[in-house]
Amino acid sequence: MVPEMNRDQIMYLIHQTREMMLREYPPGIILTNLNPLLSRDDHYNINTSILGLYLPWQNAICGLINRPRLLKQALRRICDAWPRLKGEVFFDDLISMATLRVAAPEVFEFLYQHYSEFSIANQPDDQRYKEEAKIWLRKSLIETWKQLSDTRRFNPQSAAALLADLYPATACATETRAVQQFNPQSMGAGGRGTIYAQRLFTEEINKSDISDQLILSIIKKTDNDNTALCLLAKEISDSDYASRAFEVFSKVLRFNKHLPLLSEVYAVIRKRHGSIFDRDNHPGFFPSWRSIHDRPVAEIEDWLVTELEKCIPGHLSLLTNIYYYWLGTNHHTFSERELSRKIILGSLAKKWDSMPPEDIAIGFDPASPYTLFHIFFTSDYEEAVSVPLGTIDDWAWSGPILLNACKVNPDIILPHLLIAVNSNQKQSSFELKQYEFSQNNLEVLFHDQVTEFLLLASKGCNLHFDMPEQTKILLRQAFEKAKGIVNKI
């Protein structure tokens, strides 16, 4: 039998391999400090009695690949995988995974097969699953781990320690925990952990993934190059992957240009999508907002009104969403909203009054017919006392303008007008909505042209194929209501 290697020998060879790989295939940015490997780096050489149940990562490695052949196989895997994964995973996680693959393949398979189950079993407060199901799952994982450990084909203490370091949720099965440092490129990195799990399991980068190093390098460039903000916005605006990466990495790199970045994101959305806007399709809309949404309105007011003005007249759905996310919650006061509401009303009055009727429709999203309603009343319509310029009387001037636009392009304008003059807007979203014209809204908006509007509504229009079906049902009810009224005239 070839004698076991001691810890210093193993760590020296791993250290040399890691240094060679980092030298030949250097990542642009390393976010997390690598673990010390040499005995002169005495950070890890801690008495295990002080750590209690915690086994240092270096000791766990040595407890598994302590024979030359196993060590050689693990190092070969690392050398093969790192050129593909450089900077896209934490290097020491790659060492841990290679160790499990060659020295405890049963444990690697255990982690791979049950990866998605660990987080479920490890979160007792998760309401998505019944408690009895989580209890059964934990018992099943514990029993599977016990059966693996009883085989004694590997060192169970070392394997459990590596599992805990790779993915802390495995503690629900092994009852072993590790001393954790924050690592944004790890399997335990919240919502992005599955990305790094996939990379470590397959030793490949998904072709649809945007490189971590690309996002990191752009964020770093923004420190002294504002043009990089435009490039960053182009990457994150429509990409869930890139926007999630930015949200994590921006905190690590202390990114502080959130308002300028949001301006660039809004600009990208306007340029790419025109009036069509569904916030769920634009994940880049949210990360910077989440980072600074609790700033006092006075600090962002000048910036906010400028961004609102940019959306008029061609991007009205984006306009209402920007307003909502900054000023649309109950945390904001009448006075905090007042300037933005004045800007919206004043800018629209000026633009619409000077535009040809056929051009007004360009600003509306044909699949989202609630935009005009939200412009008039905002999303806080149930608390109108806190909404400046939020009554139909404030918008009476727009009725003749929008009616002329509706004559030219009823397919787009008519649904918006019908939603705005519906009297049943305050019904719970969980109830089946029934359409009913608001006589007051009709008269304030259209004055002596009410009948003319109802005639248009009675003819109906083509509803956009992407419009929600429940909204289509509501609008078809409006068409029928209008026909009934017109027939009685």
Considering the chain, what is the average pLDDT of its residues? 90
Q: What is the pLDDT of residue 475?
A: 96
pLDDT confidence of 135, banded at 50, 70, 90? Answer: confident
Q: What is the pLDDT of residue 51?
A: 43
Checking if the pLDDT of 432 tops 60, the result is no
Residue 197 shares a structural domain with residue 309: no
Q: Is the dihedral of CA 231, 233, 239, 241 positive or negative?
A: positive
Residue 318 shares a structural domain with residue 458: yes
Percent of the chain with pLDDT over 90: 77
Distance CA 408, CA 394 (A): 25
Q: What is the pLDDT of residue 128?
A: 65
Whether residue 128 lies inside any domain: the answer is yes
pTM, rounded to two decimals: 0.87
Q: What is the pLDDT of residue 209?
A: 84
Residue 192 shares a structural domain with residue 305: no
Burial annotation 202-234 (CB, 10 A radius, 16+ → b, else e)? ebebeeebbbbebbbebbbebeeeeebbbbbbb
Average pLDDT over residues 448-464: 96
Host domain of residue 432: 294-488
Between 439-446 and 398-408, two packed helices, what is the crossing angle to 10 degrees?
Answer: 90
Q: What is the pLDDT of residue 349?
A: 97
Checking if the pLDDT of 472 tops 70, the result is yes
Distance CA 384, CA 392 (A): 11
Whether residue 194 lies inside any domain: the answer is yes
Checking if the pLDDT of 45 tops 80, the result is no
Q: How many independent structural domains does the chain possess?
A: 2
Whether residue 346 lies inside any domain: the answer is yes
Contact 184, 248 (CB under 8 A): yes
Residue 156 shares a structural domain with residue 17: yes
Between 316-327 and 297-310, two packed helices, what is the crossing angle to 10 degrees?
Answer: 170
Residue 44 shares a structural domain with residue 193: yes
Q: Is the dihedral of CA 195, 250, 82, 42 positive or negative?
A: negative
Average pLDDT over residues 11-27: 96
Q: What is the pLDDT of residue 188?
A: 87
Contact 361, 409 (CB under 8 A): yes
Pick the more confident residue, 7 or 146.
Answer: 146
52: left (phi > 0), else alpha (psi -120 to 50), else beta? left
Residue 325 shares a structural domain with residue 182: no
Residue finishing a domain among 167, 202, 237 = 202
Checking if the pLDDT of 428 tops 50, the result is no
Average pLDDT over residues 175-189: 85
Average pLDDT over residues 357-381: 92
Q: What is the pLDDT of residues 246-276, one digit of tens each?
A: 999 999 999 999 999 999 999 999 999 999 9
Amino acid residing at 63? G
Residue finishing a domain among 144, 179, 202 = 202
Whether residue 391 lies inside any domain: the answer is yes
Instruction: Please report where in the chains the tokens 């392009």 appear, as a residue.
Output: 409
Checking if the pLDDT of 430 tops 70, the result is no
Average pLDDT over residues 181-208: 91
Q: What is the pLDDT of residues 116-134, one digit of tens each?
A: 899 887 776 656 667 777 7
Residue 409 shares a structural domain with residue 302: yes
Q: What is the pLDDT of residue 426?
A: 54
Distances (CA, A) of 433 to 392, 463, 475: 21, 18, 10
Residue 174 shares a structural domain with residue 309: no
Q: What is the pLDDT of residue 41?
A: 60
Token couple for 195: 């990305």
Burial annotation 358-391 (CB, 10 A radius, 16+ → b, else e)? ebbbbbbbbbbbbbbbbbbbbbbeeeeebbbbbe
Contact 173, 156 (CB under 8 A): no
Checking if the pLDDT of 177 tops 80, the result is yes
Distance CA 357, CA 342 (A): 23
Whether residue 232 lies inside any domain: the answer is no
Average pLDDT over residues 455-462: 97
Contact 107, 232 (CB under 8 A): no
Q: What is the pLDDT of residues 47-71, one digit of tens each?
A: 443 444 456 899 999 999 999 999 9
DSSP 8-state class, residue 283: G
Residue 52 shares a structural domain with residue 169: yes
Residue 197 shares a structural domain with residue 301: no
Distances (CA, A) of 15 to 41, 47, 57, 73: 11, 22, 14, 15
Checking if the pLDDT of 470 tops 50, the result is yes
Beta bridge partners of 437: 422
Checking if the pLDDT of 329 tops 90, the result is no
Instruction: Choose the weakest-confidence range: 167-171, 178-182, 453-457.
Output: 178-182
Q: Which of 384, 400, 379 is nearest to 444 (CA)?
A: 400
Contact 225, 264 (CB under 8 A): no
Instruction: Choose the weakest-confidence range: 2-6, 52-56, 301-305, 358-362.
Output: 52-56
Instruction: Choose the weakest-confidence range: 54-58, 95-99, 291-295, 461-465.
Output: 54-58
Q: Which of 80, 84, 71, 85 is nearest to 15 (CA)?
A: 71
Q: What is the pLDDT of residue 178?
A: 77
Q: What is the pLDDT of residue 47?
A: 42
Q: What is the pLDDT of residue 381?
A: 60
Average pLDDT over residues 414-441: 80
Residue 357 CA, chain-centre distance (Å), reads: 38
Q: What is the pLDDT of residue 250?
A: 95
Average pLDDT over residues 137-161: 94
pLDDT confidence of 429, banded at 50, 70, 90? Answer: very low
Q: What is the pLDDT of residue 125?
A: 60
Token couple for 87: 């900077």
Q: What is the pLDDT of residue 50?
A: 43
Residue 78 shares a structural domain with residue 186: yes
Average pLDDT over residues 415-420: 96
Instruction: Choose the weakest-confidence range: 139-148, 219-228, 382-391.
Output: 382-391
Whether residue 226 lies inside any domain: the answer is no
Residue finishing a domain among 154, 179, 202 = 202
Distance CA 366, CA 174 (A): 55
Q: What is the pLDDT of residue 43?
A: 52
Whether residue 306 lies inside any domain: the answer is yes
Alpha helices (runs of H) in 421-468, residue ranges in sequence order: 439-446, 450-459
Residue 315 shares a structural domain with residue 171: no
Q: What is the pLDDT of residue 53?
A: 45
The distance in angstroms from the start CA to the end CA of the chain is 103
Counting Cα atoms < 13 Å in the Cβ hemisphere of 327 gives 26
Whether residue 239 lies inside any domain: the answer is no
